[in-house]
Structure 1
Amino acid sequence: MKEKILIKATDLFLNLGFKSVTMDDLAQAMGISKKTIYSHFENKTKLVEACTMHVFDSVSCGIDEICLLKKNPIEELYEIKRLVMEHLNEEKTSPQYQLQKYYPRIFNTLRNKQFEMMHGCVINNVKKGIDQGIYRGNLNIEFVARIYFSGVTSIKDSRLFPVAKFPVADLMDNYLEYHLRGIVTPKGRKILNNIINSNQN
C-alpha cells in the first residue's frame, strides 16, 4: 500500500502542485482513509519528501541505464531529455516553484542531489563528445557542466518561463538545442541536425 500511495501522490503533486494537493484529496483519489495514509507517512511533509526522492531516484536510474548504452553523446542527451519528460508528465503546473516556496528544506536537498548527479553526467558527456570529435576540443568542461545545470534549473522557473507561453516540451527542446549548438563541431552539427529533423518528421 505504501508504494501505491507514493505513486498516486507523486502523480497528483506533479500535475496539481505540492501545495494544492491535500491529504484529503489523496485519500479521496485513492478511495482510502486518511488514517491509512498516515500509517505509512507521518505527515504531508514526509510524503512530499518521499515523492520527490522517488522521482529523483527513478530518473537517476534511468539516466544511468541510458549512459550504459554507449550512444553518441548528442543522442545520449536527447534520450535523457525524453526520459525526464516522461517522468515529469510534462509538469502541467509548476511543482518546482511550490516545492521551493512551501518546502524549502526538501527543495534544497533535492537541488543538491540533482547537481551532483547532473554535474558528473554532463562532464562525462562532454569528455566523450570531445574524444569523438563532435564537441569542440577547447571547451572549459567544468564551465559547460555548470552552465548546463544552471540553465536546466532556470527554465523550470515559471516566473521566468510561464507555461502558457513556453510549453515544457518545447522549452526543453529549445534549451537542449541551444546548449548543443554552442559546443558542437561541424561533425557534431550534422548529427544534431539529423536528430532535430527526424524528431520533426
Structure 2
Amino acid sequence: MREKILETATDMFLNLGFKSVTMDDIATHMGISKKTIYTHYENKTQLVKACTQNLFCTVSKGIDQICALEQNPIEELYEIKKFAMYHLKDEKSSPQYQLQKYYPKIYDEMRNRQYNLMQECTIQNIKKGIELGIYRENLNVPFISRIYFSGVTSIKDDKLFPAHKFPKASLMDDYLEYHLRGIVTPEGRKILNSIIHSNHE
C-alpha cells in the first residue's frame, strides 16, 4: 500500500501541483481513507519528500542505463531528454513552481542532487564527444557543463518562458539543439542534423 500511495501521489503532484493536491484528494482518488495514508506517511511534507526522492531515483537510474548503452554523445542527450520528459510529465511548470514556493527545503535538496547528477553526466558526455571528434577540442568543459545545467533549469521558469507561448516539449528540443550547435564539429553537425530531421518526420 505504501508504494501504491507513493505512485499515485507522485502522479497527482506532477499533474496538478504539490500545493494543489491535498491528502483528501489522494485518499479520494485511491478510494481509501486519509487515515490509511497517515499510517504510512506522517504528514504531507513527508509524502512530498518521498515522492521527489523516488522520482529522482527513477530518473537517475534511467539516465545511468542510457549512458551505459554507449551511444554517440549526441544521441545520448536526446535519449536522456526523451526519458526525463516522459517521467516528469512534460515538465509542466506548476509543480516545480509550487515545490519551490511551498517546500523550499525539499526543492533545494533536489536541485543540489540534480546539479551533481547533471554535472557528472554532462562532463562525461562532453569528454566522450571530444574523443570521438564530434565535439570541438577547445571546449571549456566545466563552463559548458554549468551553462547547460543553468539553461535546463531556466527554461522551466514560467515567467521567462510562459507555457502558452513555449510548449515545454518543443522548448527542451530547441534548447538541446542550441546547446549542441555551439559545441559540435562539422562531423557532429551531420549527426545532429540527421537526428533533428528524423524527429520531424
Question: TM-score when scaled to structure 2?
Answer: 0.99
Query: Equivalents in 2 of 1:93, 1:73: separation in Å?
Result: 28
Partners of 1:184 and 1:92 in 2: CA distance: 30
Distance 2:93 2:189 in 1: 34
1:148 partner SS = helix
In 1, the alpha carbon distance for the partners of 2:91 and 2:200 equals 22
The one-character-per-residue Cα deviations of 1:71-99 (angstroms, maximum 9, x if unpaired) are 00000000000000110111345211110
1:18 correspondence with 2:6 = no
The answer for the alignment partner of 2:186 in structure 1 is: 186
Question: 1:94 is paired with a residue of what secondary structure?
Answer: helix
Contact 2:59 2:84 in 1 (8 A): yes
1:85-126 CA distances to partner (integer Å, 9 max, x unpaired)? 110111345211110000000000000000000000000000
Q: Is the 8 A contact 1:15 1:93 kept in 2?
A: no
Instruction: Name the aligned partner's letter for residue 186 of structure 2.
Output: P
1:154 aligns with 2:154: yes
CA–CA distance in 1 between the matches of 2:191 and 2:46? 44
User: Percent identity between the aligned chains?
Assistant: 70
State the shift of 1:187 in Å: 0.3
**Separation of aligned partners in 2, 1:157 and 1:53:** 21
Aligned residue number for residue 33 of structure 2? 33
Aligned length: 201
In structure 1, what is the Cα distance between the partners aligned to 2:48 and 2:93?
Answer: 16
Can you list the C-alpha shifts for 1:15-57, whole angstroms capped at 9, x where unaligned? 0000000000000000000000000000000000011111100
Distance 2:12 2:93 in 1: 11
Aligned to 2:118: 118
- In structure 2, the gaps of 5 or more residues are none
Distance 2:97 2:8 in 1: 20
Q: Measure, in 2, the Cα distance between the counterparts of 1:36 and 1:42.
A: 10
Match of 1:70 in 2: 70
Q: Amino acid of the residue matched to residue 44 of structure 1?
A: K
AA of the residue aligned to 1:175: Y
Matching residue of 1:132: 132
> Normalising by the residue count of structure 1, what TM-score does the alignment of the two structures yield?
0.99
